[in-house]
Amino acid sequence: MNKKIALVLVLVLVLPALLGLTACGSKKPVLHVYNWEDYIDPAVIDMFEEEYGVTVKYSAFTTNEDMFALLQSGATSYDVIFPSDYIIERMIAEDLIAEIDYSLLPNFEHIAPEFASGVGYDPEAKYSVPYMWGTVGILYNTTMVSEPITSWEVLWDPQYDDNILMLDSIRDSLGITLKYLGYSLNSRDAAELEEAKLALIDQKEYVLSYVVDQGKDKMVRGEAAMAVVWSGDAAYAMAQNPDLDYVIPEEGSNIWVDAMVIPANSENQELAHAFIDFMCRPDIAQMNAEYIGYSSPNATAVANMDSAISGDERFYPSPEVIANCEYFHDLGDDLDMYNEMWSEIKSGATGN
């Protein structure tokens, strides 16, 4: 064979591989992201793909527990996941996530100090980068409630029979009930949990339904007088219906953080770091916070927001209110006790 022809054939065969090309065109790196539904501005994904020349494959989960079970099974590999604080605690204990290389995150400097430290669930801030934070409270319709709400006690008020939406979430519903009774929402005391269980069973006759994401839409449509919701869902609903208001009851509540982590089995950790750093960029953090409605831990982004948003103490509560709230922690084996009680509570629940 002519040497020149042979050289041309070699180049035709080898160069595409060297340049990362295929017969169908350029082969872009792929980043696999696993997040909550509707928990990122779609424009942010487009911007990252364009700026970094990559493809983002985005999947959504409904609960922390579902996400954890899938990750633990090892059936699927993701590069960035957005779990909540107490699940991060469990992931760390089971060596399911990699340590963060902060030398690859220059934008981490924008995270507010009170969130940058890991706040208990990641004490040395080795494994997670805060994404959003918020509270659990009561979203209520001011035209259907006789007076401003201040206490969790209203959830047991007979005048709101069949007019209350509860969160279909074991930690949240048991947690707020424990706070109402004067206990820690991380209680592992069997007697305290039994008291909370019985209180929720007594409340069932007033509950219209147990819901998750659909609760905010039901409130927008005026289908219930009140709902236990996450603060971002409250912000969304209030923007759609001016008759709605949100309160963190005086007994205290849950304050939570959803963070970005890199699974230990990620096949593209360098690109995962690039994505997390991109999400910490103030303009991107602001876009996400304003799109989603939750509170941002990015101090620079918050400073750039309209004061009507950043100054609203329902969603950026005062230090005094925050001090009265608790973070959830991993319950370990005691979660079995919670699960058993939750089954008893839900078994006779009314509604859909």
Lowest mean pLDDT among 64-78, 130-144, 151-165, 228-242: 64-78
Residues 250 and 158 grouped into a single domain: yes
Residues 299 and 338 grouped into a single domain: no
Q: What are phi and psi of 88, to 5 degrees?
A: -60, -40
Q: Given this model, what pLDDT does residue 264 score?
A: 96
Residues 24 and 83 grouped into a single domain: yes
Residues 10 and 90 grouped into a single domain: yes
Q: Given this model, what pLDDT does residue 63 score?
A: 85
- Give the closest residue to 187 by CA, choosing from 331, 64, 324: 331
The boundaries of the domain holding residue 99 are: 3-132+257-315
* Helices H / strands E in the chain, number of each: 15, 11
Q: How far apart are CA 320 and CA 315, in angstroms?
A: 14
Pairing verdict, β 80-81 and 55-61: unpaired
Average pLDDT for residues 163-169, to the nearest whole number? Answer: 95
- Give the closest residue to 172 by CA, choosing from 186, 182, 156, 192: 186
Binning pLDDT at 50, 70 and 90, where does residue 348 land?
Answer: low
- Give the closest residue to 335 by CA, choosing from 186, 216, 228, 225: 186
Any residues with CB less than 8 A from the CB of 1 and at least 6 apart, and which? none
State the CATH number of the domain containing residue 171.
3.40.190.10
Q: Given this model, what pLDDT does residue 5 score?
A: 43
Task: Give the total number of structural domains in the chain.
Answer: 2
Q: How far apart are CA 352 and CA 160, in angstroms?
A: 17
Specify if 283 maps to a domain: yes
Specify if 247 maps to a domain: yes
- Give the closest residue to 212 by CA, choosing from 59, 40, 43, 66: 66
Segment 128-161, tens digit of pLDDT: 999 999 999 999 999 999 899 999 999 999 999 9
Tokens, residue 23: 């017969």
Any residues with CB less than 8 A from the CB of 111 and at least 6 apart, and which? 129, 130, 280, 297, 298, 299
Residues 94 and 214 grouped into a single domain: no
Residues 128 and 138 grouped into a single domain: no
Give me the half-sphere count of Cα atoms (radius 13 Å) on the Cβ side of residue 134. 23
Q: Given this model, what pLDDT does residue 74 score?
A: 84
Binning pLDDT at 50, 70 and 90, where does residue 37 land?
Answer: confident
Mean pLDDT for the chain overall: 90
Binning pLDDT at 50, 70 and 90, where does residue 3 land?
Answer: very low
Specify if 320 maps to a domain: no
| Whole-prediction pTM | 0.85
Segment 195-219, tens digit of pLDDT: 999 999 999 999 999 998 889 999 9
